[in-house]
Amino acid sequence: MTPLFHDRLNVALLSMALLGLVSGLVLWLVGQPDLAGIAWAAGVIPVLLALCVEIVRSLAQGEVGLDIVAALSMSAALLFGETLAAAVVALMYSGGTFLESFAQGRARREMSDLLSRVPRTATRHRNGALDEVPLDDIAPGDLLLIRQGDVAPVDGTVQSAGAMLDQSALTGESMPVRLAQGQDVMSGSTNAGEAFDLRVTRRAADSTYAGIVRLVEAAQKSKAPMARLADRYSLLFLAVTVALATAAWWFTGDPIRAVAVLVVATPCPLILAVPVALVAGLSRAAHFGVLIKGAKPLEALARITTLILDKTGTLTDGRPQIVSIDRHGDLSEEDILYFAAALDQASKHPIAQAIVGVAQARGIVLPIPASVVETPGEGVAGTIDGRRVVVGGAGFVAAQLGVADPESTVVEAGSVVVSLGVDGKLAGHIVMADALRAGTAELLSGLRRLGVGRILLATGDRRAVAEAVTEGLGLDAVRADLTPDQKVLLVLTERKNGPVMMVGDGVNDAPALAAAYIGVAMGARGAAASAEAADVVLLVDHLDRLLPGIEIAQRSRRIAVESVVAGIGLSVAGMVAAAFGYLSPVQGALLQELIDVAVILNALRALRIVPGHVGQIEGSPDDTAARRPPTSTFTAT
């Protein structure tokens, strides 16, 4: 049964139950009790049939839920002529299932297809011309043209002199990688430099990205089940209900008393109050930029004890930022940035564009470069304000200046040095790195206060880079050089010790997100694969949204449990009264309605949840300012 069909079925059942109840009441008021009974029964039967099918399916999977109580009460009420009571129960049940499916459908509406990242076609060299062909037509040995910005559709090797590739979504390596002729290219990598030719080594179905897709599917099948909150009380409540109804009938000989017990016992505080509280929690979480895909993930999010974090784009910003500027002449730091950014306007290299972005954020007005000559992947030479400027790698700049390669600036692992030459002399170095997100230490402390006792880093990046980035954060473990399947293995291992949450943003994180108890994707810039595999998507690139998300989940679940305890307590009291003959089936249904109203009003308190960790989030009117590199990024040397 597809989700769309399931949603439409729930709407239809709710409509039929409501129509049957209302039309029966109208007929009863105009003096047609027989027709009223038929109308009530007509509204109940479709709901009861659908419920029985669902019960059989659940039992086949080894699951016992409270739906059995609802089915017993409707069946008994119809059997003994209490059609009005049956109609009320049918409306309550169909309303609860509609609310739950509505929550899940609403949360998933914005999710994209898993394969949307990879193109459907590729540009192939054939007989001296270029043809656009479907991926399925590509065979090993074919020669493809990968334009700037394109995603490599299949695995292959570089056939041009070189290629500059962004592999961060696959490997976690934050900086673009320069590949020489003959080196391997993984499908899913983005061309960050000039166009190059790719010699195909594997068909699309056998390539790296397709393998990751299969990993996602396998991980989702192995995912730990997340039982509904309502079902955890099902067996005990079912036993109490059947015992009271049987005892009432056995000792009095009156089957109507058993019907009344079953009607009062219909677990509407569970069927209605729990979805209402959780849907309200979903709405509040979305208000703070946390999209949770349904009530089950919300419940699970409230019980997380272990957190596994990806590095690139999650713990770090995922984009190169300036760490420091080293002067080697008379130019000031701002002058060095001015000349480098002005010339880098002519390049589409991600590091060049990062330098331009920093200069613009600082309010520096950049002139138009002249006489520009770019060596792809190496650097750019040109004229700025009449002065000859060259910017790029240290070796490239040294060669352009006609001097020996200068002493390398000492940098930490994971950093990149951009050199600048002006008028034939070395002017300085700009040190860049994928920096840790601001406030990360405070975020981790907040997560521990919310009950997350174990926090780990899992990255495909090098260990030296991972340890340098996370130094001083107090992580419980750092796992580096991981492939996608190794990340899945780590999640499965940690899952043995309690509920695990995995946070990531790249294609390589998707299998681990699917395997975790709760997968969280950085959705604003993350890959479609990770967003699809995740249970929770952070709609903005701020990891601190985890704090209000978890707190809202915990408080929503607490409100749901309160509603359940109060509602079940009142229902048990009503069942006892019905067993002693103080309530008829219709009176029991009306009493149950009053209990429903009370617990639902209590459940709606979840709409007013204000997380205690939200001040810093709501204090900023937009996210743009939060993304600007801070002016304190530059340090004197």
* Residue of 67, 150, 310, 326 marked catalytic: 310
Q: φ, ψ for residue 377 (rounded to 5)? A: 80, -5
Residues 6+ apart with CB under 8 A from 134: 120, 121
Residue with tokens 């090993």, as numbered in its chain: 140
Question: Among the residues of 80-223, which ranges form H helices?
Answer: 83-108, 168-171, 208-221
Question: What type of residue is 316?
Answer: T
CB atoms within 10 A of CB 426: 18
Nearest to 290 by CA among 536, 560, 583, 29: 536
Question: Among the residues of 368-473, which ranges form H helices?
Answer: 394-401, 440-449, 463-470
CB atoms within 10 A of CB 369: 20
Residues 6+ apart with CB under 8 A from 462: 173, 413, 414, 480, 481
Residue with tokens 């306007």, as numbered in its chain: 345
Active site residue 310: yes
Q: Is the dihedral of CA 94, 99, 101, 105 positive or negative?
A: positive
Tell me if 343 sits within 8 A of 422, measured CB to CB: no
Question: Among the residues of 535-608, which ranges form H helices?
Answer: 546-579, 585-603
Tokens of 627: 């993304």
Tokens of 492: 């499965």
Q: Using the CB atoms, write b or e for 561-579: b if 16+ within 10 Å.
A: bbbbebbbebbbebbebbb
CA separation for the pair 131, 113 (Å, rounded) = 26
Residue with tokens 């801070």, as numbered in its chain: 630
For residue 258, give the H/E element and its range. Answer: helix 255-265
For residue 349, CA distances in Å to 159, 353, 354, 473 come to: 20, 6, 9, 32
Q: φ, ψ for residue 451 (rounded to 5)? A: 105, 5
Tell me if 117 sits within 8 A of 187, measured CB to CB: no
Whole-number CA gyration radius for the chain? 31
Question: Among the residues of 430-527, which ranges form H helices?
Answer: 440-449, 463-470, 484-495, 510-515
Tokens of 190: 């983005």
Q: Using the CB atoms, write b or e for 434-444: b if 16+ within 10 Å.
A: bbbbeebeebb
Tokens of 332: 């000031």
Tell me if 295 sits within 8 A of 103, measured CB to CB: yes
Please state whether beta strands 518-522 and 500-504 pair in parallel, antiparallel, or not at all (unpaired): parallel
Tokens of 226: 């997340």
- Say if residue 590 is exposed, middle or buried (CB neighbours under 10 Å; 0-12, 13-18, 19+): middle
Q: Which residues are catalytic?
A: 310
